[in-house]
Structure 1
Amino acid sequence: MKSVLVLSWIAIGNVPAAVREIRARGLRPVLVSNLPADPNAGLCEDHVVFDWDGEELPALLARIEERGITPIAVVSMVEKLIEWSIALTTHYDLPGGGPARQVLVSKYAVREHLRATGRSAIRFTGDPLAVDFFPAILKPARESSASYLVKRVDDREELLAHLADLERAGKGGVELIAEEFLDGVEFSVDGPVLGGRFHPLLAVEKPDHDDLRHHDAGLELHPPQREFVRAGVRELSEVVSGLCADRGLDQVWLHFEGRSTAAGRTELIEINLRAGGGQIPHVLGELYGIDVYAVIVAMALGEYTPEQVPAPRERPMLGWFDVEAKEVGTVEVATTEAELLALPGVLDVNLAHGYRVTRLDQENFFLSFTMAADSVDQLREHAARVLDTLEYAVRP
């Protein structure tokens, strides 16, 4: 049976949104995930259980064949599964196959490519014990979900302590990359790649980013307000477009993060083969009328060929806020989405009732909301009103 494979790991990968778009096209979604009791399995026509870390490609291909599944596309929005997506699309000769996307499999490969082509001077190493630059950021080389295991270390003592903590937690085998920490302001950019050209549609300034925990925090806004950040967005968009041209990328959506300093230095933080999370899909809809998940499914089918990509929009000014639980337990929220949506300036609310925090080495956002305003000060006033209204507790 002709089907679209939707790849997922630990129940992440925007499966409900992908399935909605697949079904809207009259196609058959099949979930491929590592969880036998995956909460998204019931949304799909079939569920192939596969251990991404412990099994090999022939086992997955055999399992797909046993069920009589004929894949016509592969949808994957999980960094950890990029290599699997490439392997499947290459095997079945589907859009996204071949070597073009291989550079995006690991952060180390991206760093090497940018250094080799003269597009980046940031210091980095794949051997954390070889770090001789501080502060440094340590993070998984092949996983990027919710700032998982991202850690800033300010000296060698902190570095060794962090590596020891990972060993004790049973995570010593995670492939890591260590990168120079660049002071400055963090930003992100989202947009499609067509014919080797990246088209930046949404640029986001993160003035309140948590540089100690390296988590998103506080207000994020579009368009960026500081000129050196805007210049950094333009510069890094050209760097990414150059990488796309080098690799012959086509019909992919990219979300990347960068940093710019007031002195004019800009560097890539990381690049993801998916749309940004949180409120970014909603904001893209507000600005352009784009359903980014519909675009990603169309790209997986090789059918995203718009006559033109819209020009970047500067208005309206939009801001959003992610609220994070910072202790282990279950988040119980007394405030309703309707109460928050009734507040001035609030456009959208995404509230996860009963969100379960099981570990603190990643972001744990249980609420995000989007606002419209005429100024940054007004955005902050709207956000303060929402936070004052919000009532919640984290129960053990």
Structure 2
Amino acid sequence: MRNLIVLGGGEDQIPAYREGRRLGYRVIGVDQRPDALGAAEADQFLCMTSRDPEGIAHALGPIDVAAVISPASDAAQESVAELSRIYRTAHQPAPGALRCSVDKGFFREVIDRLGLPAYRYAQCDSAEELVKAAAGMDYPLIVKPADSSGSKGITVIDGPAELPGAIEHAWKYSFSRQVIIEELVAGRHCAVESFFADGRLAFMAVTDRTITGPPSMISISHVVPADLDEAVYARLGEAVTAICAEVGHQRGPVNFDFVLTAAGEILFIEMGARLGGNGMPLMVRHAFGLNTVEAAIRLALGEPLRITTSHRRTAALRILTADVDGVLTAIEGLDDLKRMPEVVEVQVFKSAGDRVRAYTQAGHKLGYLVMVADTRRLLESALDEALRTLRFVIEPDTKGSE
């Protein structure tokens, strides 16, 4: 039996484990956490960092690898490319698209080259140079590692006095010690989950995205379709196509975060040339009938792409979270929630007795809730009821998190 390597063993990689097995492959999981969800899902599990492709290849030896994939993880994309080269798999990621995923400053350079609307930024490994660059920007600024994701290491600052501490915080989460500072853009937050086939934009789902706000700026929910004018959709599709052409992304999934300003400008924030995280493939499947996880695996296998949708529904994805660090003592209302007609899927990643973390990073989520309805108004009403129905009972830490 041929092998499929899945880098990462978190909740957003688990669908790839299950889909790979359904397609008839032996699944090898890699994650540095011994308690990762993937440890129980994999046919073989390596407890090691996914950022060491040579070490992974050494541990596995000369086996038959059909494909390598890492949904929702920017950090592992360079390893996906290197392991694909080592094992000579059918699909190789485009280098330019890969770099956009792991180097936020490079993505900003691409935006500038294309002449798309932009904002001021600076990226380097020198605190002194970043402080100098910030003098020419308008506060508030957002400070983050240039090569990380999931809102790790992010700080929003209101003045120069906060900048040195924010840079130090970002360094803790940067593998390259590259930090990027950007002007914080005001407007509507949205996201794009798309798929390219032979250089053509074969699928594009645009969501209205709700975030937690400063200091973490993490996604809390998505609603699809986004409530945007057709002209905005057209400009967005043209811009996404231009970006992907510029970086050589001809086939496969790609996602973007962007802000639509009051003046109607589309300001791209970040790009990931891989399946989106925070349950986005789950919402796409329920909203459009498209299994992007299967499509991404078939792409990695070198198979022809068939990107087709079977329906279009108004859908919401809500990320379930905790407000405090502590111990989860009970989950109330879960059965009642599942009986709601609008609820199509609930995933809870924690059980009573587990430690939980306040939602300051994307990795601290408790689960996903996906709902559908005939109209956006009905959907929003049902979502409010669902959030009143489900309750996570948490015994807070008295001395902070461990």
Query: Per the shorter chain, which TM-score range?
Result: 0.7 to 0.9
Contact residue 194 and residue 249 of structure 1 kept, 8 A:
no
Offset at residue 109 of structure 1 (A): 1.6
Over the aligned positions, Cα root-mean-square deviation in angstroms equals 2.8
1:112 to 109, 113, 130: 109
* Percentage of pairs with the same residue: 23
Paired position in structure 2 for 1:33: 31
1:357 corresponds to which residue?
A: 356
Runs of 4+ in 1 over 6 A off after TM superposition: 169-173
| Structure 1 residue 202 displacement after superposition | 1.5
Unaligned runs of 5+ in 2: 125-129, 398-402
Distance of aligned partners of 1:358 and 1:321 in 2 relative to their CA distance in 1, 3 Å threshold: closer
Change (3 A) 1:51 1:267: same
2:95 equivalent among 96, 99, 105:
99
* DSSP 3-state at the match of 1:80: coil
Change (3 A) 1:387 1:13: closer
Are the structure 2 counterparts of residues 394 and 225 from structure 1 closer, same or farther at C-alpha, using a change threshold of 3 Å?
Answer: same
- Superposed CA deviations along residues 6-60 of structure 1, whole A, max 9, x for unmatched, are 111xx4373331121222222221123323554423432323343456x5x5443
Q: Note if contact 1:255-1:276 (Cα within 8 Å) is conserved in structure 2.
A: yes
What's the TM-score, normalizing by structure 1? 0.85
2:140 counterpart letter in structure 1: P
**C-alpha contact (below 8 Å) 1:184/1:259 kept by paired residues:** yes
Residue number in structure 2 paired with 1:321: 318
User: Across the two proteins, how many residue pairs are aligned to each other?
Assistant: 381
* Residue 222 of structure 1, aligned match among 211, 217, 224: 224
In structure 2, relative to structure 1, the CA distance for the partners of 1:375 and 1:38 (3 Å cut) is closer
1:199 match: secondary structure: strand
**CA, structure 1 residues 120+92, in 2 after alignment: closer, same or farther (shift >3 Å)?**
farther
* Residue of 165, 180, 183 corresponding to 1:180: 183
- Matched with 1:155 is 159
**What is the DSSP-based 3-state SS (H/G/I as helix, E as strand, rest coil) of the residue aligned with 1:79?**
coil
- Change in CA separation of 1:12 and 1:173 when aligned onto 2, cut-off 3 Å: same
Q: What SS class does the counterpart of residue 318 from structure 2 fall into?
A: strand
Structure 1 residues 337 and 279, CA gap change in structure 2 (3 angstroms)? farther
1:268 aligns to 2:268 (yes or no): yes
* Aligned position for 1:3: 3
Alignment check: 8 A CA contact 1:189 1:233 kept:
no
Cα distance, 1:328 vs. partner?
1.0
User: Once the 2 structures are TM-superposed, how far is the Cα of residue 374 of structure 1 from its aligned partner?
Assistant: 4.1
Partners of 1:22 and 1:157 in 2: CA distance: 50
User: For the Cα contact (< 8 Å) 2:156–2:214, is it kept in 1?
Assistant: yes
| Whole-angstrom CA distance in 1 between matches of 2:298 and 2:152 | 29
Say if 1:347 and 1:87 are closer, same or farther in 2 by CA, change over 3 A. Answer: same
Whole-angstrom distance in 1 between the partners of 2:325 and 2:290: 36
Give the residue type in structure 1 aligned to 2:237.
S
Q: What amino acid sits opposite 1:142 in the alignment?
A: D
Q: Tell me which residue corresponds to 1:144.
A: 149
Q: 1:361 to 1:175 in 2, by over 3 A?
A: farther
Matches within 5 A, 1:1-396: 2-8=2-8, 11-12=9-10, 14-36=12-34, 38-52=36-50, 57-65=53-61, 68-77=62-71, 78-94=73-89, 95-97=91-93, 99-104=95-100, 105-127=102-124, 128-129=130-131, 130-131=133-134, 132-133=136-137, 134-145=139-150, 147-165=151-169, 174-206=177-209, 208-213=210-215, 214-217=217-220, 220-227=222-229, 231-306=231-306, 309-310=308-309, 315-354=312-351, 356-358=355-357, 361-363=360-362, 364-395=364-395, 396=397
SS at 1:179's partner residue?
A: strand
In 2: Cα distance, 1:173 partner to 1:245 partner: 27
- Equivalent residue letter for 2:212: D
Unpaired runs of 5+ in structure 1?
none
Amino acid at match of 1:180: E
